[in-house]
Copies of this chain bind each other. A is one copy, B any other.
Amino acid sequence: MEQPTIGDAFGEMIRDAYAVRTGIGPRPLAGGRYPRPVIEVIERDDGLINGAPADHYLNEPGDWQAYDRRALRLCRGRVLDIGAGAGRVAIELQRRGIAVTGLDTSRGAIEVARARGLRDTVLATVDEFAEAAVRYDTFLLLGNNLGLLESAERAPVMLAALARLAAPGARIVAQGSDPYGTRDPVHVAYHERNRQRGRLGGQLRLRLRYRELATEWFDYLNCSPAELTALLDGTGWHLKSIDQQDRPYYVAVMELDS
C-alpha cells in the first residue's frame, strides 16, 4: 500500500469547499458527473480516523458556534488571526472595520481567503512571522487553534514568538477543548497511552488527508484549563479569563505579565 503524497491537503480541501459553496473554480465530482462532498479526513496516530464536512471552514457568522461569536468581542486593537484558514473569522473582523492580518501555512487556504476578500494575509509560520517589525494587540486562535500550542515543549516557543509580535498590553484570545470529559474508551485509552509516553493526555498526533494528499504528522494540543495554566507558567503570559459556557469548549484570554 502506498502512502499519500505530502502536500497542501488542507488548501486543496478548502479550494474544493469554496468551489462547492460559490461555484467559483472546478467543483469536485464523482464519476465526472455527480457532486462529490468535500470531507476533511483526520487521522490520529493510534489508527483512529474521522471525517467531517469541510464547509464549516467557510461558514457565515450566523452559522458559527456561540463561543466563536463571543470570542470576537474579546478582540482589541490590531488582530493577528493565527491559522486563519479560508478567512472565516478574519473576513468578519475586516467587515467590522477591525485591522486584521490572516496568517496561515496553507497556500491554498490563503489563496481562498484572498479570493473571498481578505486583504492582509501572510503565508508563514508564527515563528517565521515573528521576525517581522509589525506588532499586534490581539492574537486570535479560533476553530480550536489553541491546539497550535502543540505540546509542553513547543508551547513556550510559540508563546515567545507571540510575545515578540506583541504590542504593549497585547492579549491572546484562543478557543480550546478540554479532552478529559469523554467516556469514549478509544479516547480514554489514547490519553493514557500519551501519558505513558511522556506526552500530555490530549496531545494529539494527527495528519490531515484529502484525496491523494496528506500533511506531515503534527502535534495538536487539546488541554484542560488547568493544563493551559501550567503551560503558561514562566512564559510571560498568564490566563486573564476563561469562558466555559460551552464545555468542553472554552475561550481563554491570556495577557503578558506586566
Name A's B-contacting residues (CB within 8 A): 1-5, 31-33, 36-37, 39-41, 45-53, 177, 181-184, 186, 205, 209-212, 214, 217, 247-249
Contact = CB atoms under 8 A, between A and B. Distances in A.
A211 B53 contact: no
B248 A45 contact: no
Contact of A46 (B2, B46, B214, B248): B2
Given A31-B248, A37-B53, A186-B211, 12 more contacts: A1-B45, A1-B47, A1-B205, A4-B47, A5-B47, A32-B182, A39-B50, A39-B53, A41-B49, A47-B214, A48-B211, A51-B51
Contact of A181 (B3, B32, B37, B39): B32
With most chain B CB atoms within 10 A of its CB, the pick from A47, A181, A183 is: A47
A41 B47 contact: no
21 contacts: A1-B205, A2-B45, A2-B47, A4-B48, A4-B49, A31-B177, A31-B181, A31-B182, A31-B249, A36-B50, A36-B52, A37-B51, A37-B53, A39-B39, A41-B41, A41-B49, A41-B51, A47-B212, A47-B214, A49-B209, A186-B212
Contacts of A45: 1-2
A33 B184 CA distance: 12
A211 B248 contact: no
Contacts of A37: 51-53
Nearest to A222: B31
